[in-house]
Chains A and B, each alone.
Chain A
């Protein structure tokens, strides 16, 4: 199975910060990485698909990049409503696998 390693595990941030997190695949997954946001007590929500495509209605402060094994997710201007855990997932091959998440907390 492909292992998705996310870093950092958590980040202490302030409103207005630029936030960058990473996801590394244990083997080449092309551009088949998606990013999900999960707020406490809620279902995950799709933000980015195929590495860099913003899903419908997602604010443009969220961006994704990367290919192969290294992927990056950025929030350009952190808002309070962005506090959540962010997961990457590879959908290049079965079984699809998720990272363990990066949790954003207020400083």
Chain B
């Protein structure tokens, strides 16, 4: 079955770089796109960016200067790197999979990983 699992540090210092990994199973990263979505506590989600099945990427313009999404298809992993973290980057970070190739709804979600930015 389709599964996604986020991993990474729970605590990041202000101004440091966040590195998260999404490990997937049950599907191929060359057939489906994976997006990162984050959610501050008590607020609505925010789409951060996407790794398309063909290796192309798309980013939220508000984060583009700080954000990088990459993948390793041999390891079934998608990576998120975001630099210059501030306290308002605190929240739960999810990776998601599209419902089908070339569609944009998020049919599968990981459990999420809580990231706290604090000194």
Is the Cβ of A44 less than 8 Å from the Cβ of B45? yes
Q: Is the CB of A97 within 8 A of B47?
A: yes
Asked if residues B104 and A91 are in contact (CB atoms below 8 Å), the reply is: yes
User: Does A45 make an interface contact (CB < 8 A)?
Assistant: yes
- A43 CA to B45 CA in the complex, in Å? 10
Chain A residues, Cβ within 8 Å of B43: 100
Scoring B residues 35 to 55 as 1 if CB is less than 8 Å from chain A, else 0, what string do you get?
A: 100000001111100000000
Task: Say whether A43 contacts B109, CB under 8 Å.
Answer: yes
Taking the closest CB of chain B, its distance from the CB of A48, in whole angstroms, is: 9
Q: A34-B105, A45-B109 are in contact. Are A98 and B60 (CB under 8 A)?
A: no
Q: Which of B60, B105, B110, B111 contacts A91 (CB 8 A)?
A: B105
Q: Is the interface of B mostly helix, strand, loop or mixed?
A: loop
Chain B interface residue bracket vs A: 20 to 34
Interface band, chain A = 20 to 34
Please list the residues of chain A having a beta carbon within 8 angstroms of any beta carbon in chain B. 1, 32, 34, 36, 43-46, 49-50, 55, 87, 89, 91, 94-101
In the complex, 18 of the A-B residue pairs with CB atoms within 8 angstroms, ordered by the A residue number, are A1-B61, A36-B45, A36-B106, A43-B110, A43-B112, A45-B109, A46-B106, A49-B105, A55-B105, A87-B44, A91-B105, A95-B47, A96-B47, A97-B47, A98-B44, A98-B45, A99-B44, A100-B43
Q: Which 3 A-B pairs have the closest CB atoms?
A: A91-B104, A43-B109, A95-B60
